[in-house]
Amino acid sequence: QVQLVESGGGLVQAGGSLRLSCAASGSIFRINHMGWYRQAPGKQRELVAAITNGGSTNYADSAKGRFTISRDNAKNTVYLQMNSLKAEETAVYYCRMIELRDYWGQGTQVTVSS
């Protein structure tokens, strides 16, 4: 049984920063993809940033230059450093891991006040 546990969400003022963490545990064979997605009320879930096992990264255009995704392979943990946050980025942020199967975390709320 694989579990993803997210942490680091919360309330922050516009322009502030947050760091999200997602730790994977359980019977993990080989992680191919770890990423962060977000879903705002009434909107579809969207990719924020992702990182492959080899360290290649992919960012949403809105996140480039402000967000940084990183990964600790030894700990099966992925991080998302978010700077200069905007009110419109208020959403539930989900961690995703693609291994032999596709796993999602339970989500962590990020609220950016204007």
What confidence score (pLDDT) does residue 29 get?
Answer: 82
pLDDT of 108 strictly over 90: yes
The average pLDDT across 27-39 equals 90
pLDDT of 36 strictly over 90: yes
3-state secondary structure of 36: strand
Contacts of 85 (CB under 8 A, 6+ apart): 12, 14, 15, 16, 17, 18, 66, 110, 112
More confident residue, 71 or 29: 71
Contacts of 82 (CB under 8 A, 6+ apart): 17, 18, 19, 20, 63, 66, 67, 89, 110
C-beta neighbour count of 88 within 10 angstroms: 11
Give yes or no for a contact between 67 and 49, defined as CB atoms under 8 angstroms apart.
yes
Give the chain's mean pLDDT: 95
What confidence score (pLDDT) does residue 1 get?
Answer: 85
Distance CA 18, CA 84 (A): 9
